[in-house]
Each structure stands twice: as structure tokens, then as C-alpha cells.
Amino acid sequence: MHDMGALTGAPWLIAMLIKVLVVFFGTMVVVALLTLMERKVSAWMQDRLGPNRVGPGGLLQPAADGLKNILKEETYPAHASKLFFVLAPMLAIGPALITFAVIPFAAPLPTPWGLVDMIVADLPIGILYILAITSLGIYGIVMAGWASNNKYSFLGGLRAAAQMVSYEVSLGLSLIPIFFLAGNVTLTQIVWSQQQELGWWYAFPLGLSFLFFVISAFAETNRLPFDVAEAESELVTGYHTEYSSMKFSMFFIAEYSNMVTASALMATLFLGGWDIPFFTFDNMRVIAPGIVEGAEPAWWKTLLTFGAFGIKTLFFIFLFMWVRWTVPRFRYDQIMHLGWKVLLPSALAYVTFMAAAILTLDTLGVPFDFWYGLILTGVNLVPTVLFLVLIDRDRVIGGTAPAARRSGPLPQGITATRRPNADANVERENQEA
Amino acid sequence: MLESYVPILILLGVTLANAVGMVVLSHLVSPFRPTPAKLEPYESGMTPLGDTRERFSVKFYMVAILFIVFDLETIFLLSWGVVMRSLGWQGFIAALIFIVVLTVGMIYEWKKGALEWE
Amino acid sequence: MTDFPLTQLLWWVFASMAVGGGLGMVTRRNPVASLLFLVLTFFSLAAIYVLLGAHFIAAIQIIVYAGAIMVLFLFVIMLLNLGHDYQSDLRGGVWIVVGFVAAGTVGWFIWQSFGAPGAVLQRGGEQQIAASVEQMNAVGAIAYPLFRDYIVPFELVGILLLVAIIGAVLLAKRRV
């Protein structure tokens, strides 16, 4: 227990304002840099150079893009509902930029005026706030599609809305096992539980939840392979087809800041947030204003934990980009199938299974510590393997049947199998030859 | 407790001001030279046919109503999740009955083909 | 109210936003505009719940009403192609009847909340809420009673949701 003194009065107000502004402008700057990173990553994956003319290594490209977008001509389609047409990008960007507020991004920082916790708003409803605000993000997209009075936009907006609501259910369900272990919905408690109470990052004991959450988060952010809302081969660019200039940029900023928040959330929920693994010097939490439980806060700990948080978040952002430039887009019926017929029942079954497993461990009197997490990790492997085998349907794991029929062994590194009738076609071609 | 919401209000204000500012700024500095062709809905260069706001498939409506039902289920289970360990098996059985009842509904809609997206 | 200094001021701000949103929702000709006003009302109601200390209810208010039910409304508006302006249904005498019924309901609620003996707002409910939130955290304050004392209503909600599923499937899939 360390009493670092509570922040009150003017210092509290100033610290809060600084945090709000830092998080707001930080998100905007990160979003700007991400547009560059996306292009650099895609260039790297496709063996190109990417943007390299504006500034050193193309670093000033986002600034040039931003300036260009402000100066571009605006279009207002003749039959568009003008008010809603202008309102839609604001409705999209608003929820996207305020969700980051409840994510703790570093260990609390001691200052001469008192302890400053590194979170904009430690709400008692924690992650429910994020669920609530992201569910409002649908309006911007639907409104854009509807107001544009363009068939592509309209279809894109509708598809996006139906997809987002479909995956919101599995997103919510995948959070429930976390609440089992954390016992609260605030993200500070979830981090504390992972670094001290249980001592395991939830990605291990709740592995399948992690998988469900990542898939649902990809769908919620409308990123590939779930980007049918803006499938350029069918819908031009979907709901923002008619948008130009800064209003187009705003949809872009909304998409990227949603990606940042989703990445930070995955890092916080499943990879311990700002926790540094294998060390206990950073294990602390604020139990009352100014009073810290666990290790003693210090400025260098805040800095280090912020670095840990940044690395984890960056990893997930990179995952978003990696997947985008690797995996092809799903068909819309496949997306609906995955959401309603695979993720929803599996997540429900997993919640029930994990509840039973945790209660059994409690009934057996296993203390809530390292061994608890280890046993749970082992137990969790059963549904995880089962799910992977079921969803695989003999394509990669059990893909022996079609391979056995092939004459020679597969070339090294090729794991995909052929459809059965493909072999028949080859045989027919051989006979014709 | 309530102080923790103050930063949210300020952040909301900053974000809204920023959103409005972006639209207004680009409106002020960007050119606007409309031509009849420019104002037409973009349909890949073809002349638009028919109205956009036609009736669309009832399937979207199905998705929305099923979403409400399962969203409510999620909320209930979520509140159970927080207190699950302290309630023990008695709460587990209550939640299990709830889940089973809704799984019956899910099997019904599955068999009826409400989840098919032709 | 609680000791937070701005509570009174914020209550007036959000209450007027809620009422304004409700008025806008009723008076707009365009159904989509009505819908956005209703979302504003729900948002303000959530803020008022927060001021009362009911944090979890506020979150549910936004998740379920603004995020789910209003999306269904939006789909219905678009499904039925109601996207353009409509003439008001309420003409002439209907207005007066509806007005009286609404005013009566509001008056009754105000009486029940403030005036009546043992009215809700005279029992010091905020202190109780604040105490139980302090004790069991924001979600637990709802979840403990729900899963201990109100199990039968909770299971009945499950049945109600089942009926909703069956009804929706029957309505949408009538021809199958």
C-alpha cells in the first residue's frame, strides 16, 4: 500500500485536460501515421517501395494527403438529402474518436501534486461503454449510404449495418469469460487481474474467446476479409462512393481510429494491457484516489509500461494490415453464415463450458493463482482444438483423403488440398492428351 | 464516481468541434463547380436507372430483429458473468436454463431457414 | 442528488435535450430525422441515468435502445421505403385527444415521483444506489439481485425472448 496523495482541484482539472487532449491528438496523429504504415506494409508485402517522395522515406505523405483532401472539390449529389449527407461523416467520426477514453495505457504516474492514473476516464461501466458507443457507429454508415441516394452506397451501408449487428453479439459473448475471471467490467480491473490476481494473460486461459473476439473485431471495423461494405469489385467503394474531400477523409479517420481502439482493446483484454510480462515491479493498481496497491509507482515504470502497451497495440494493428493484404474478401452469405451459424453458437457453448470449468475449479478449492490459470489453459485447449477441427472441415488438419489419391507427394510448403473432382478433371485431360 | 464522466463529456465536445470544424473548413477552402453530370449519382459511368430507395430484402429486417433478441441475451449473460464466481452453481443453473431456452429458439430459426442468406 | 457540483446543471441540460429530442421526433415530417431525434432522446436518458448513479442501466439504455432497437427501426423505415417526407397522421381533433392523454400520463408520473406519499424520489434512492454500487460494483448491483431474488422473472424473460424469435420467424417467413 502506497499513499501517493490524491489529485484535487486545479491540478486534477489540468491533468484531466492534458490527458483528454493527448489522447485525442494522439489518436489523430497515430491514424495519420497508420495510413502511411498501411501503404508501406502493403508495399513491403507486394515487393514494392510504397510512398517515398514526400519527406524522408515518405514520412510527410499523410500531411500531404490531408492537405490535398481539404483542398479537393466537394460534391453534393443532386438527389442527396443534404443535411443527412453532411451529418453522416460526423456521426461516423464521433463514436470512433471517443471510445479510447476508457482504456488504461500505462501504470499510474506519481507527480508532486498527487497520483495521475494513465486513463482518460475510469468509468464504472468500463468496457460496456465501448460496446455502447461502437453500437452507435452504425448510424454514420447507414446514414451515409441512405443519404447519398446512390445504389452502391445504399447497398454498402445496409450490408455494413447488418454485418456489424451480426458480429456485435459474438463480440459481446466473447467478453463474458473475461468477466468470469476478472469479476468486474472496468478495464483497470481486467489488467490487474491479468498481471497480479491470476497472473496469466487471458489469451492463454481464454484462448477461444480471444479468437472469437479478434474475428468479431475485424468484422466490426469493416476491415478485410469482412469489408463487403466497400467491396470495390461490386460496389465501387460502398457507402462513401459519393463522398469527396474532407468528408471522405472523415470516414477514413473513423475506420482507422476504430482499428486503433480495437487493437488497444485486444491488447488490454487478452495480452495484459500495459503489463510487462515476467516482472512484478510494474504490478500495481489504484484502489482509491492516490492510494496504490502492489508495487510503488515511479515515472520510469509509467514510461516502460506505456512502451509495453504500445508494442502490443502495434502488433494487433500490424495483424489488421497483415490480414488485409493476405486474405481475400468473403462473400456476403459466408459472412452471415460465420456470424450466426458458427460464432454465435460456438461462443454460447464456450461461455457455458468455461463457466462450468471455473466453477468446478472453485468447488475443488483450487487457489486463484498461477496453477489455476495453468489448469484453465489446459482445459481451454479442449474446446479450442474441437472448434478448429470443426471449422476446418477436413481442409487443412484432416486433409488426407484427397491427398492420398494424388500420385506423388506434395511439393514442400504446399498445404492446400484439391477438390475431389479436380483430380477427375486432371485424369480426363491426361486421357485426352 | 460521477467525476469520472467529466473527461468523456470534454472529449465528446472536442470530437464534435473537430468534426464540425473539418466539414466547415473544407467547405470554405475547397472549390465547388457543379455540372449536371457531376451531380448525378455515380454508377460507373452509366446513366442511372430507376430510384435508389426501393424496397429491399426482408432478410435485413430478420437480422435486425434477431440481433435485438440475442443482444438482450448477451446483456443478461454479461451481468451474470461479472457475478458468476460468487454466485456459484445456483447462478450457473439459472443461466443454463436461460441459455437452453434461447438455444431452442435458435434451433427453431435455423431449421426454419431464417439464418440462410440465399 | 449526489455531492458532485455540476449534477443539477447537467440534469437540466440533459433533461431539456431529452424533451427536445422527443418533441423533434414527434414533429419531424421525415422519418429518418425523427429517428435521429429519438436516438438523441435515448442518449440523454442514459446521461440522466448516470447522474442518478445507475451506470449499468445507462450502458444498457444505449446498447439496447439506441444501438439495437433503433437500428431495427431504421431498417423498417428503409424496408418500407418511408425515406421521404410524409404528411402528419395527427390532424384536427386527434391532436387534442392525444395531447390530453399525454399530459395526463406525464402529470400522473410527476405526482407518483414527487408528490404522492412514499413517492420514489422521496425515499433517497440515490444513496441506496450509490451504496450498492460502491459495495458490489456497477454491474453487480443489478446482477446480484437479478440472479438471487428474481430468478423466475429472469427465466420468464428467456421465454419472452423465445416467443419474440418465433414471432419474427413466422412473420418474415410466412410463405415458406
| CA dihedral for B18, B22, B24, B25, sign (positive or negative) | positive
pLDDT for A401 beyond 90: no
Please compute the mean of the pLDDT values over residues A32-52 and round it to a whole number: 89
| Rounded Cα gap, residues B97 and B94, in angstroms | 5
pLDDT category of residue C91 using cuts at 50, 70 and 90: low
CB pairs below 8 Å between B and C: how many?
138
- Tell me which H or E stretch contains A8: none
Residues A10 and A126 in one domain: yes
> What integer pLDDT is reported at residue B48 of this predicted model?
65
> Which one, of A124, B86, B68, lies nearest residue C147 by Cα?
B86
Joined together, the cell numbers standing for residue A177 give 469469460
Q: Do A133 and C133 touch (CB under 8 A)?
A: no
DSSP string, A276-287: PTT-STT-EEEE
How many other C-beta atoms can be found within 10 angstroms of the C-beta atom of residue B78?
Answer: 25
pLDDT category of residue C81 using cuts at 50, 70 and 90: low
DSSP string, C7-68: HHHHHHHHHHHHHHHHHHHHH-SSHHHHHHHHHHHHHHHHHHHHHTT-HHHHHHIIIIIIII
Mention every residue, 6+ apart, whose C-beta is less than 8 A from residue B113: C173, C176
Mutate to test the interface with A, among B5, B6, B8, B62 (most CBs of A within 10 A): B8
pLDDT category of residue A347 using cuts at 50, 70 and 90: very high
Question: Tens-digit pLDDT profile for chain B (118 aa)?
Answer: 678 888 898 999 999 999 999 888 888 887 777 777 777 777 666 666 666 666 666 777 888 888 899 999 999 999 999 999 888 899 999 999 999 999 999 998 888 877 777 6
Question: A133 CB near a chain C CB, below 8 Å?
Answer: yes
Q: Which residues of B touch A236 (CB under 8 A)?
A: 42, 44
| Rounded Cα gap, residues A158 and C40, in angstroms | 22
pLDDT for C175 beyond 90: no
Residues A176 and A248 in one domain: yes
Domain that holds residue A183: 2-21+77-392
How many other C-beta atoms can be found within 10 angstroms of the C-beta atom of residue A300?
Answer: 9
Tell me if A328 is assigned to some domain.
Answer: yes
| Rounded Cα gap, residues A381 and A379, in angstroms | 5
Residues A356 and A297 in one domain: yes
Question: B30 CB near a chain A CB, below 8 Å?
Answer: yes
Bridge partners of residue A288, in order along the sequence: A291
> What integer pLDDT is reported at residue C174 of this predicted model?
62
> What integer pLDDT is reported at residue C159 of this predicted model?
93
Residues A236 and A158 in one domain: yes
Task: Report whether A122 contacts A287 (CB < 8 A).
Answer: no
Joined together, the cell numbers standing for residue A198 give 491470476
The predicted-structure confidence for C34-61, as pLDDT tens digits, reads as follows: 888 999 999 999 999 888 888 899 999 9
Residues A293 and A413 in one domain: no
Q: Do B53 and C81 touch (CB under 8 A)?
A: yes
Joined together, the cell numbers standing for residue A375 give 489448469
Who wins on pLDDT, A279 or A351? A351
- The pTM for the full model equals 0.87
> What integer pLDDT is reported at residue B47 of this predicted model?
67
Write out residues 36-95 of B within 8 Å (CB-CB) of C: 53-56, 58-62, 64-69, 71-73, 75-76, 78-80, 82-83, 87, 91, 94-95
How far off is chain B from C93, nearest CA to CA, in Å? 33
pLDDT category of residue A270 using cuts at 50, 70 and 90: very high
Tell me if A45 is assigned to some domain.
Answer: no
Residues A242 and A104 in one domain: yes
Residues A92 and A134 in one domain: yes
pLDDT category of residue A243 using cuts at 50, 70 and 90: confident
Bridge partners of residue A111, in order along the sequence: A114
State how many domains chain A has.
2
Strands (E), B1-118: none
Q: Do B53 and C68 touch (CB under 8 A)?
A: no
Q: Do C62 and A132 touch (CB under 8 A)?
A: yes
Show me where the domains of chain B are located.
2-112
| Rounded Cα gap, residues A93 and A246, in angstroms | 12
> Which one, of C57, C55, C27, C62, lies nearest residue C41 by Cα?
C62
What percent of chain A lies above the pLDDT cut of 90? Answer: 31
- Dihedrals φ, ψ of A286, to 5°? -90, 120
Mean pLDDT value across chain C: 82
Residues found in chain C: 176
Q: Which residues of C touch A173 (CB under 8 A)?
A: none
Instruction: Please report how many Cα atoms fall inside a 13 Å half-sphere around the Cα of residue A276, on the Cβ side.
Output: 18
Joined together, the cell numbers standing for residue B59 give 432478410
Task: Report whether A193 contacts A182 (CB < 8 A).
Answer: yes
- Tell me which H or E stretch contains A17: helix A9-45
> What integer pLDDT is reported at residue B97 of this predicted model?
93
Please compute the mean of the pLDDT values over residues A176-194 and round it to a whole number: 91
Q: Which CATH class is domain B2-112?
A: mainly alpha
Question: B33 CB near a chain C CB, below 8 Å?
Answer: no
Who wins on pLDDT, A211 or A66? A211
